[in-house]
Chains A and B, each alone.
Chain A
Amino acid sequence: MAYPYVSDREVRVLSKYFGDPAQRRLDTYVERGGYQALKKAFEIGQDAVIDEVKTSGLRGRGGAGFPAGVKWSFMPKQPTKPHYLLCNADESEPGTFKDRELMRWDPHQLIEGILIASYAIRAKHAYIYCRGEFFEATQVLAKAVEDAYAKGYAGADIMGSGNDIDITVHVGAGAYICGEETGLMNSLEGRRGQPRVKPPFPAAVGAFGMPSTVNNVETLSAVPHIITHGGQWYRQWGTEKSPGTKLFCVSGHVNKPGNYELPLGFPLTELIEDVCGGMRDGKALKAVIPGGSSVPLLNAEECGRCNLDYEGVQAVGSMLGCASVIVMDEDTDIVKQVRRMVQFYAHESCGQCTPCREGTAWMTKVLLRIEEGRGTEEDLDTLLEMSRQMTGTTICVLSDSAAAPVVSSIQKFKDEYLALIRRGERVGVA
């Protein structure tokens, strides 16, 4: 199988069939053992499914890392209203490209996970909210859903079990903020895609005002394996608090960028050197963003002692996020990279909260000015103060995400900012 790059350090559970188009076909999927987990789930019952997922310690792969089984257990056990499962397939975090691959290569794995999760939370309807730009992935997925319906794996009386679960593939219009779970619900309902104030939480008042659970594509794709093999089996990989395998999306200045499925807790240095074939052109490492553009960046020294699990990354001052590892070599212009990220957030801010709406755009302008050599040292203080006032002050954490790389880059790469400021002073543009 020639999926762009593979490594023998990988543990390919979810990504086993990446690169194999046959896996998209329902008959192949079933031949290879597909939909047996669903059958088992129906046999052991809802509570046993939730317990098994709790045992596995599977944590949400959408960024926050909240234990999936625990989240499911928040849903009412005796439904008085319709429940909904929402599969978050809006993957738009810069540096992240794992959900798309899971949808493209193994759509039935995801569908099976969705059906099991829906069953566990007593939902009779699941929505898959797909990022608007995912044309191919959405087509593959929609075809797979159609096939599943045709063969009785979705819809009414699934596999003769008496369980009804409908699946709707919903295509977004291409907004990062619709990946935030409550923004997703608004968008799904046909409203403006903007996050809602919590509380109430989705398990109480979610999509269409009904109890809902939102899970990421990767989270749900892991579920069939956990049900088939048991929660303990999943714990053979990873750490005590971060069990299992995880897809790492590596981009940037390495020789072999790509998706790699590795046990959690994998050392970052080995990921770069071993799995990804080292730095491109033998350049030195300057910085890594370990979890997608929303998290603080790490300098080379911190990278050297960073293990890639939720706690390990936190220990060096950043977050695992959705494990999108962006590697930057010595030639990288940090200020420009940070500006580009902040500009993304300014573009994607839904605009409700004043600190985010105004702060992201203002930050972009200040960073641009610094880049052009028209910055001052006071600008750095202003940026830091702005960041403080943008962190923890808004409805969702997009605002925090914009501030994180600014703060960490000024802390860790102040010299680069100062160099730009000084150069500007020398040529007299400031």
Chain B
Amino acid sequence: MADTITLTIDGQEVSVPKGTTLLKAAEKVGKDVPHYCYHDGLSSPAMCRLCLVEVQGAPKPMPACVTQAMDGQVVSTESELALDMRRGVLEFYLVNHPLDCPICDMSGECHLQDYVHEEGRDHGRSREPKRVFGRDDFGGDVLFYGDRCVMCTRCVRFMNEVEQDQRLCVVERGNRSVIDTFFERGLEGTHWHDNIVDLCPVGALVSKDFLHKARAWDLDHTPSVCPSCSQGCNIELHTRDNLVQRLKPRENLEVNAFWMCDHGRLNYEWINHGERAEAPLVRDQGGVKAMGWKEALTLLVARLGDVEGTVKAVASPFASNEDLAALQALVESLGGGDIVYRMPRAEDEIVLKGFPTLARRRDLAPNGRGADLLGLRRVGGDDGTGGLEDVSAHAGVVIVLGDGLADQGADFASGAALRVHLGTRSGPAVATADFVLPITTFAEQEGTFTNHEGRVQRFWPALNAPGLARPAWLVLGALVAEGTGSETPRRADEAFARLVAAHDAFSGLSYDDIGTRGAVVNDTVPLSGD
């Protein structure tokens, strides 16, 4: 192909499309050329000078991040010259760097630590007093430790190029250069600023929320999907001691690139909420009794067999596709009935200007689209309340999945023949149900959400479930199996396979296809409200 060129990098031949930079070409042969200022999501100022490589015939070492590969070029990322230049740049960084790793939040995942350990000198030779900037509150969730800054300007460029709300700049010049806000106007009021904490290759920009909360090496990382709106940003849950400590975006160019919004990032405390429903609770004449699953489900199957009347169900857009489909299968097996859900909605979308397919969507839950595709009906107001008058007045079976009924009183569905509640927490309207069955959150189970554009995305369990809480698909699947004499699904992928079999929109999809990047459903129905 005319548009492909072939060059040699560290002795390995590699073919790349014309216009590819040496940095990207080197990646192809497995060489990660150290760099700070370069980032896939930003412009390339070629200023950190860490990615200098030797190009045969060139009079000077070349910055790999902006130098375009040329046919027949011979490049070395590890020649004596390249290593010497990198050693030099790394030592220059340490001239003024405080090396306060023991109290630095970045320690353990810091690129300065990594690079210096790998290629730097054992000891920096500077004996001179260091420059001191101290600490600054940049507003929002961000603290700035100026002394740790390596002046890569990623943060400035993110605000200018991606969020496109100029809030940061470099002031002064030379080694007096420092990142600053425009007087008192910091990051307050911007919606994507925590991404600069991720972008910062060192501990210069840190999250106030995460400050001194955990050491990087103590955190487990679990791939997941942000539950705070219908965009479905790919994220990682960082956990320790069975608690989510922070959320970080996970790269997916088709959904969120490298970014996530501040609302989603900081909205995780509810996952760690301590007061959880931990055992099945069953109400009978003698009051409420906690019991094991076998006993509770046996009683429930019996009651479902006894009661007269149709079913009405309330589901939650926070529940996974598998959970919702299992609920639907149960309702079907009981003779069918209406399933509604309620959606908290924001006034506006918050679009990320530099990557406009990413926005904090108006729907503030991850799976409204999944609910729609499965035939659930949206009710209630934009505050996520109301709309349950029909259900509350229902005389037959009322099943609630995931909706905490916070706006309902103890008399919710008091006329129902049987009330079953699958949820994570109690509350006035929950406590009066006949059966309260503890289920897991998305962080405690495997499953999928369908985002606003119909992309089905997987998440994985990061936390141990409290007490006897189980995934709703498992509980509901067992009830269906009991009622219909079929098999109970044992794993999430089996639950998903049942969903696929029952719903055309999902046909052809499997957990393997979805992988960590997601896959789009083959039908699109308009998302209610959008």
Contact = CB atoms under 8 A, between A and B. Distances in A.
B172 A385 contact: no
A47 to B, nearest CB: 32
A280 B170 CA distance: 46
B13 interface: no
Interface stretch (A67-75, A287-295, A350-358, A420-428): A350-358
Interface stretch (B88-96, B139-147, B361-369, B506-514): B88-96
Interface of A is mostly: helix
A362 B125 CA distance: 10
A394 B175 CA distance: 15
Interface in B391-407: none
Contacts of A395: 46-47
Contact of A354 (B48, B170, B173, B176): B48
A361 B173 contact: no
Contacts of B59: 392
A389 B85 contact: yes
Nearest to B85: A393
A348 B89 contact: no
Given A351-B151, A393-B52, A393-B85, A358 B173 contact: no
B60 A350 contact: no
Interface in B117-138: 125-129, 131
Contacts of B384: none
A240 B304 CA distance: 105
A366 interface: yes
B126 A350 contact: no
Interface in B166-184: 169-170, 172-177
B45 interface: yes
Most buried by B among A357, A390, A392: A357
Contacts, number: 102
A324 interface: no
A362 B95 contact: yes
B342 interface: no
B157 interface: no
B45 A354 contact: no
Given A360-B174, A389-B89, A393-B88, A354 B46 contact: no
A197 interface: yes
Nearest to A368: B128
Nearest to B171: A192
B66 A362 contact: no
Most buried by B among A353, A365, A378, A385: A353
Most buried by A among B88, B125, B174: B174
A346 B95 contact: no
Given A197-B46, A355-B88, A362-B95, A350 B175 contact: no
B84 interface: yes
Interface string A369-409: 10000000010001001101110111100000000000000
Contact of A362 (B48, B92, B170): B92
A257 interface: no
Contacts of A392: 59-61
Contact of A351 (B85, B95, B131, B175): B175
Contacts of A362: 92, 95, 126, 128
Contact of A352 (B45, B95, B96, B172): B45
Contacts of A365: 126, 128-129
A390 B61 CA distance: 12
A177 interface: yes
B49 interface: yes
Nearest to B94: A358
Contacts of B126: 362, 365
B159 interface: no
B66 A197 contact: yes
B81 to A, nearest CB: 10
A389 B87 CA distance: 9
Most buried by A among B95, B126, B173: B173
A121 B168 CA distance: 39
Contacts of B151: 351-352, 354, 357
Taking residues whose C-beta sits less than 8 angstroms from the other chain, chain A's interface range is: 35 or more
Contacts of B63: 197
Contacts of B169: 192
Given A355-B88, A355-B89, A389-B88, A360 B175 contact: yes
A15 to B, nearest CB: 34
A361 B88 contact: no
B200 to A, nearest CB: 16
A96 interface: no
Nearest to B152: A354
B82 to A, nearest CB: 11
Contacts of A393: 49, 52, 60-61, 85, 88-89
A382 B46 CA distance: 26
B174 A351 contact: yes
A12 interface: no
Interface string B21-56: 000000000000000000000001111111010000
B174 A357 contact: yes
Contacts of A389: 84-85, 87-89, 91-92
A385 B174 contact: no
A358 B96 contact: yes
Contacts of B96: 358, 361
Contacts of B45: 197, 352
A175 interface: yes
A212 B394 CA distance: 78
B171 to A, nearest CB: 9
Contacts of B150: 354
A241 interface: no
A169 B151 CA distance: 33
Interface string A130-142: 0000000000000
A174 B61 CA distance: 31
A353 B47 CA distance: 5
Contacts of A355: 49, 88-89, 92
Nearest to B48: A354
A329 B141 CA distance: 60
A361 B174 contact: yes
Interface string B91-115: 1110110000000000000000000
Interface string A330-359: 000000000000000011111111110111
B92 A354 contact: yes
A52 B434 CA distance: 100
A359 B172 CA distance: 17
A348 B61 contact: no
A361 B175 contact: yes
Nearest to A381: B125
A382 B88 CA distance: 11
A366 B128 contact: yes
Contacts of B60: 392-393
Contact of B174 (A346, A382, A386): A346
A199 to B, nearest CB: 9
Contacts of B175: 346, 349, 351, 357-358, 360-361
Given A346-B175, A349-B173, A393-B85, A358 B93 contact: yes
A382 B126 CA distance: 9
A24 to B, nearest CB: 35
Contacts of A350: 173-174
Interface of A: 175, 177, 192, 194, 197, 346-355, 357-362, 365-366, 369, 378, 382, 385-386, 388-390, 392-395
13 contacts: A197-B66, A349-B175, A350-B173, A351-B170, A351-B173, A351-B175, A354-B92, A362-B92, A385-B88, A389-B85, A389-B89, A389-B91, A393-B89
Given A347-B174, A355-B92, A362-B95, 10 more contacts: A175-B173, A192-B170, A349-B173, A349-B174, A353-B47, A353-B48, A353-B49, A357-B177, A358-B95, A393-B89
Which are the 8 A-B pairs with shortest beta-carbon distances?
Answer: A389-B88, A351-B177, A358-B92, A352-B47, A361-B175, A365-B128, A392-B60, A349-B174
Interface of B: 44-50, 52, 59-61, 63, 66, 84-85, 87-89, 91-93, 95-96, 125-129, 131, 150-151, 169-170, 172-177
